[in-house]
Amino acid sequence: MKLYLISDNIAVRDRWAAALAEFHPASCSELSEQIQHPSIIMVLDRVIADAEDTLLKKLFEHRVMVLSMIPSFSEAQRLLQLGAMGYGNAMMHVSHLNSAYQALEEGKVWLHPDFITLMITQIRETASAEEKSSALLEGLSKREQEVALMLGNGSTHQQIADALDITVRTVKAHATSIYQKLNVKDRLALSLLLHT
């Protein structure tokens, strides 16, 4: 799958290209009809700022991560609802850029952990569904149910480990088992399942 880096800011585009050089990205300053399908696209938000939602939905048929010089939670929500697979700070650390690329390559959504926590908090505030949660969690062990509820409410692995007096490694093992049993990919998907 080809990687495209699209930014009208040459310094930003060069920074991304250096960070992701091992994936041999193609770089350009604007959207192009020449983009192969399917592709992974990392695009600066201002390049698509004036695009209509219908054009964005077409763009998001690719695996697209939108990056912003001034990230906004509301912009992230809107773009994710339209089909973007990632959102983050255009100047994020190289390790985050690499993990974002890896997630998109695997067909997963990537968000900065702070955005995930905000989304989970918002979901939790808009929907309290304890009965639904307990019915969904019946196939899990008691400990997995505890971990699932805490993950779904936005707790970090470390917070869960501290609260349940277990190791972070054990929390991660429970999380993996929970995701498999409930057929979800990550804690954001788990939170959506439990609270909507």
67 and 137, same structural domain? no
For residue 159, the model assigns a pLDDT of 93
For residue 68, the model assigns a pLDDT of 93
CA distance 78 to 84: 9
45-60 confidence digits (pLDDT tens) = 999 988 888 888 888 8
What is the reported pTM? Answer: 0.63
142 and 93, same structural domain? no
CA distance 41 to 5: 6
150 and 103, same structural domain? no
66-124 confidence digits (pLDDT tens) = 999 998 888 888 888 888 999 999 999 999 999 999 999 998 889 877 777 777 777 66
122 and 105, same structural domain? no
Look at residue 64 and give its three-state secondary structure: strand
**Residue 178 pLDDT more than 70?**
yes
For residue 158, the model assigns a pLDDT of 93
Kindly report the CATH number assigned to the domain that includes residue 59: 3.40.50.2300
For residue 44, the model assigns a pLDDT of 94
104 and 9, same structural domain? yes
Instruction: Spell out a b/e string for 123-142, using b for 16 or more CB atoms within 10 Å of the CB, else e.
Output: bbeeeeeeeebeebbeebee
Tally of CB atoms within 10 A around 46: 14
From 110, 143, 169, the end of a domain falls on: 110
Domain carrying residue 6: 2-110
Which range has the worst mean pLDDT, 52-61, 129-138, 161-170, 173-182?
Answer: 129-138
137-168 confidence digits (pLDDT tens) = 888 999 999 999 899 888 899 999 999 999 99
Run of H or E including 110: strand 110-111
Asked if the bond preceding 38 is cis, omega within 30° of 0, the reply is: yes
Run of H or E including 57: helix 53-59
**Residue 35 pLDDT more than 90?**
no
141 and 95, same structural domain? no
**Residue 21 pLDDT more than 70?**
yes
**Residue 131 pLDDT more than 60?**
no
Run of H or E including 121: helix 113-126
